[in-house]
């Protein structure tokens, strides 16, 4: 999170957007207000928290900046008030959710690269930051994570992380690499949403366990 | 856990009660004896473990005191033997579960306050300690966590934590603050159980994801 | 993982086998290729990762050896290509999965013993390493973990860990103890599979909660 100013603004937009989409998921399951608030916090901050746990990086961001808990919990609660107008904003939210995915991914890559991690771990750190919040949301809703079936969601994260790493290794300017990786990853996700692009499915019907 | 003697006794009662209610949840899903034992340990010790992971506080309590694993696993197994008499004890268990909630909450607040954490993190630490064990139990049973719908469960934990923090800041005697926070939080939860109080639900039916 | 050469070879076989069985579970739920790859990595490496998180042992194995991510992700993807032939290999895979269980268990015990942990924690560390990967797989598939019902799965892990600890305390040669614990644990699991041995179930039908 100790990143340049524009990335930090994007981060705040991203955690608010993730908290609000999580609140809608909670509303679809008729959770109570406390559940809405908690699911919002976990979804918005869970990816970064799991990344920090796995990399052993303390304190976690919301321990260092408790305001993130208030912002995401507040955004989730505010969603209850404005939910009746939200279906008009459906496209806005899908867009903000895609922005959140690539912003989280670049922040995660950035952080692991700063710790001197190898390339594969840098990309994994980006994916974990970008995708695990949504996985936790789906687990808490007792669903199979959408990630495993959605339109190029994890793929957009991997592409973003891969471009970040490639740009860094090519010695290109850091901020330009971050911006380009985010724009291309975002474009891929938005095109996938627009045209329904999906990864091929693996269908296996034997009963082996 | 390095708390005053009475709190430690309450802690032991609480982990036993949580392990036994988890064992009943396992029995409702026809798990085998190993599953009963594991679900008991995870439910009773999971909240404190997740709190310690998130705060980076090592060793975890059951690593330092392995007897906690034996106590909770043993309590879960003992539940199998006495389950036929348990429905007579339904009220006792709901009461002990509520005691566990506020005891765990105060222990979690206490611990985070001792680490010099900010107020929001102190309250979050209490909630995580109090509520996450039950969330893990519900995830392992493939249910939507009860926490998100139960009678003021998480709310009682927040109220307990909030009173703890308020009392500390007011400079009141530490033990009196802990006791008062627990009694009031327990009262709130018991009244909610008695009268079926719930937080309002958020119901949202649009198909946005 | 910093173990003797033969144990390391067994470890590699075990993570490949776990990733491939996870890929089949993903295929049964019609996940896409990214989901297959991720579920393979999480299942194969999740047990060791959770153990390291709980014991506070950094860096995690796949952070230190990122090739493990490539091996397990690659094995999961390769499974898609060869899945049509897999039902002929059903027995091979059940065997390799059982090998993985005892290998993971001994590695987990070994590691905790090396950190000077108490006996109960050594056995728990073995069980967590052996069993948690499959639990994470089942959670991500929104199933009740198979562990809680399968043929002596967790039991074989506990027996392996118990023999390891007993042999160490008896002062027997370390490598012989490891080998014997693995062979006996493996035998128990294979016999349980062959004859359908299960732990007794706990069935509880009251509606408490």
DSSP string, B76-118: HHHHHHHGGGGGGGHHHHHHHHHHHHHHHHHHHHHHHHHTT--
Torsion (CA) A43, A46, A51, A53 in degrees, nearest 10: -160
pLDDT at site B20:
93
Per-residue pLDDT band for B91 (boundaries 50, 70, 90) equals confident
B194 vs chain A: nearest CA distance in angstroms? 19
- Is pTM beyond 0.80? Reply is yes
The per-residue pLDDT for B120 is 96
pLDDT at A209: 44
Residues of C in contact with A149 (CB under 8 A): 30-32, 35
Helices (H), chain C: 5-28, 33-55, 61-64, 67-82, 90-114, 119-140, 153-169, 174-195
Collapsing DSSP to helix, strand or coil, B201 comes out as: strand
E strand or H helix that includes residue A60: none
User: Of A48, A37, A43, whose CA–CA distance to A70 is shortest?
Assistant: A37
Interface probe, candidates B56, B124, B148, B207, chain A, greatest A C-beta count within 10 A:
B148
Residues in chain B closer than 8 A to C55 (CB atoms):
58-59, 63
Structure tokens at B126: 């209490």
Neighbouring chains to B with at least 3 Cβ pairs closer than 8 Å: A, C
Q: Beta-carbon neighbour count of residue A207 at 10 Å?
A: 9
Backbone angles phi, psi at C201, to 5 degrees: -90, 155
Cβ-contact B52, A63 below 8 angstroms: no
Alpha carbon A140 to its chain centroid, in Å, reads 16
Is residue B158 very low, low, confident or very high in pLDDT (cuts 50, 70, 90)?
A: very high
Can you give the pLDDT of all 209 residues of chain C as single tens digits?
444 588 899 999 999 999 999 999 899 888 889 889 999 999 999 999 999 999 999 999 999 999 999 999 999 999 999 888 777 777 888 898 899 999 999 999 999 999 999 999 999 999 999 999 999 999 998 888 877 777 788 999 999 999 999 999 999 999 999 999 999 999 999 999 999 888 888 888 865 44
Check C144 against B139: CB less than 8 A apart: no
For A135-163, how does the pLDDT look when each residue is reduced to its tens digit (9 = 90+)?
A: 999 999 888 887 777 778 899 999 999 99
Q: Is the pLDDT of residue B1 over 60?
A: no
Residue A1 has pLDDT above 50, yes or no: no
Is B34 in Cβ contact with C209 (below 8 Å)? no
Mean per-residue pLDDT over chain B, rounded? 91
Neighbours of C195 (CB within 10 A): 9
Structure tokens, A175: 């901020």
Closest CA of chain C from B170, distance in Å: 36
ipTM score: 0.90
CA distance C92 to A166: 40
Which of B124, B144, B154 lies at the smallest CB-CB distance from A69? B124
Burial C19-54 (b: 16+ CB within 10 A, else e): bbbbbbbbbbbebbbbbbbbbbbbbbbbbbbbbbbb
Q: Which of A36, A90, A139 sits opposite B139 (nearest CB)?
A: A139
What integer pLDDT is reported at residue A199 of this predicted model?
87
B19, B23, B29, B32: best to mutate for the C interface, most C CBs within 10 A: B32
Average pLDDT, chain A: 91
The domain spans of chain C are: 5-195
Look-up of token digits 């100790």: A2
| pLDDT value at A4 more than 60 | no
Residues 6+ away with beta carbon under 8 Å from C89: none
Give the pLDDT confidence score for residue B96 in this predicted structure.
87
**Angle (deg, nearest 10), helices C174-195 and C90-114:** 140
- pLDDT value of position A206: 67
- Integer Cα distance of C1 and A147 in angstroms: 30
Both tokens of residue B121? 């993190």
């Amino acid at each position: 999170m100790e990143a340049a100013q524009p990335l930090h603004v994007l981060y705040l937009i991203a955690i608010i957007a993730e908290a609000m989409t999580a609140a809608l998921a909670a509303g679809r399951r008729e959770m109570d207000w406390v559940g809405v608030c908690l699911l919002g916090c976990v979804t918005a901050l869970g990816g970064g928290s799991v990344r920090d746990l796995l990399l052993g990086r303390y304190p976690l961001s919301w321990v260092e900046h408790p305001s993130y808990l208030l912002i995401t919990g507040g955004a989730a609660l505010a969603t209850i008030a404005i939910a009746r107008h939200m279906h008009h904003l459906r496209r806005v939210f899908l867009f903000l959710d895609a922005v959140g995915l690539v912003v989280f991914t670049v922040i995660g890559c950035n952080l692991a690269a700063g710790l001197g991690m190898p390339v594969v771990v840098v990309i994994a750190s980006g994916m974990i930051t970008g995708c695990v919040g949504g996985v936790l949301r789906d687990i808490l809703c007792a669903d199979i994570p959408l990630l495993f079936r959605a339109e190029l969601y994890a793929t957009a994260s991997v592409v973003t992380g891969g471009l970040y790493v490639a740009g860094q290794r090519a010695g290109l300017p850091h901020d330009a690499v971050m911006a380009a990786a985010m724009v291309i990853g975002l474009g891929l996700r938005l095109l996938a949403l627009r045209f329904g692009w999906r990864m091929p499915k693996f269908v296996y019907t034997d009963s082996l366990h």
